[in-house]
Structures are given as structure tokens and as C-alpha cells.
Structure 1
Amino acid sequence: MKLLVLCLGLVCLAIAEDNKYTDRYDNINIDEILANKRLLGPYVKCLLGQGRCTPEGKELKNTIRDAMTTSCEKCTEQQRKGARKVVKHLKEKEPEYWNQIKAKYDPGDKFQESYEAFLARDD
């Protein structure tokens, strides 16, 4: 899930170019979004297909499954850091969001080993 990492828009990944996701949204203030449930909620709803998406949320939604299955190999360094920060926050402070995202993007825990290894790394 690690990507919801990709950051809940939060490090919104985008359409792949030159084997990397766009860095257009790399400067989003993830800390501000994570600290405010009124900001975080709409990103989660976007990812779950339950609400409208901002442009960065839409990019994240379009790339999250690929990022999960490839351990974020197309992510920029900023996106990797953001993805780890977002997932850690969701697991610890918003487990209901984490469980919903995980159920949607990895319902059989098929990619869990891969994204958990990604989340544990420091690169």
C-alpha cells in the first residue's frame, strides 16, 4: 500500500514519463495534509473512488497500484520519502483509512511483502 503512499496526493505521483512518475507534485506539504483530517479525508475518499479528486489526488489514484506492485521503482526520491511518511502516519494514526486503502488496492495482500520491504528501507 505503501503508496498511498505515494502519498496521498501527498506525494502525488503522476503519469510515467521516462520511467519516472512526474515530479510536478513533489512539493506538496504532506505534513500539513496529514495533520489536518479535513484535508486528508478528501484524498482518501478520492483514492477509494468515493469523492472528487484534486489534480494531485487524481495523479496519485492513477499510479498507486503500479507503485505498490513495483515497490515504487518509478518514484522520485521525494516521492519515496513522502510515501513512507504517509503510510506510517496512516498505519499509526488513521488505521481505518489504511485498511480501506489496502482493501481496495491489495485485497489479497498479494503485494504486502513487497511494499512492507519498501517501507522498511531508508533509500
Structure 2
Amino acid sequence: MKLVLLLCLFALAYGQDKYDLEDFNIEEVINNDRLILSYSKCFINKGPCTPEIKRIKDKIPEILETHCAKCTDKQKEIGKILFNKLKTDHPAAFKELAAFYDPTGKYQESFKDILN
């Protein structure tokens, strides 16, 4: 569930009331294993980040704390897609992200709600 954060993160960036990244190309990411794994490494400080992905990465703590309160419905949907893709196709990367951002499992229940 912690990875939901990553997924929301892909779909998020800046904003006061809502995050602004509605033009994120989900198809480009989910259809490119190299890209999704590269972004995963960026999020856990094991690889370089593009400026766009770094902005998203910087929002992860806020997203976790607020249960994605500033996420739009579209961003939550993108998060669900990315979450499921990573969990299914790249379970090791999924586990690394979960361990990195939620080592105690503090956010698991809240993100179950977001994903359903």
C-alpha cells in the first residue's frame, strides 16, 4: 500500500489546493519497463531523477501524511494503475519502495481506502 504513494507521486506535483500534473502520460510509463524501474530507483535515492519526477518525489511525505488529499480523481486513478503495474510486474521494486517510504506500515490502511 505504501507504493500507492509512489503511484500518486507519479500523478502529482505542485499546487495549493490540488497537485498540478494532469498531463502525465501514464501509457508511456506503464508500457516501458526501463522507465518505470528508473523512476522507482529515483524515488528511493538509488538512481537519477528527471526534474519532473524529482518534483513528485519531493511531495511524497505530504501525500502520505494527508492521504493524498490534494490529489485529483484522475491522479488517484493514475496512482492505482501504476501501483498495480509495479506490484504485478516488478514485485522487488514494489517492495523496495514500500520499505523505503513506509517501513513501519503506518500508511497501509489509509492507502487501501484510496485504491478502492
Taking structure 2 as the reference length, the TM-score comes to: 0.88
56-65 or 107-116, which deviates more? 56-65
Question: What corresponds to 2:74 in structure 1?
Answer: 78
Q: Moved runs in structure 1, 4+ residues, more than 3 A?
A: none
User: How big is the shift at 1:69?
Assistant: 2.7
Match of 2:106 among 99, 103, 110: 110
Where 2:7 maps in the other structure, the secondary structure is: coil
Counterpart in the other structure of 2:16: 18
Q: Structure 2 CA distance, aligned partners of 1:85 and 1:68?
A: 18
Identical-residue share of aligned pairs (%): 37
Confirm whether residue 64 of structure 1 aligns to residue 60 of structure 2. Answer: yes
SS in 1 for 2:22: coil
How many Å apart are 1:18 and its aligned residue? Answer: 2.2
Partner of 1:41: 37
What SS is found at the alignment partner of 2:112?
helix
| Distance in 1 (alpha carbons) for counterparts of 2:61 and 2:94 | 14
8 Å contact 1:69–1:114 — kept in the other structure?
A: no
Counting matched residue pairs gives: 114
Structure 2 counterpart of 1:4:
6
TM-score when scaled to structure 1?
A: 0.83
Deviation at residue 30 of structure 1 after TM alignment: 1.2
The structure with higher relative contact order (CA 8 Å, sep 6+) is 2
Q: Which runs of 5+ in 1 are unaligned?
A: none
CA RMSD, 1 decimal: 1.5
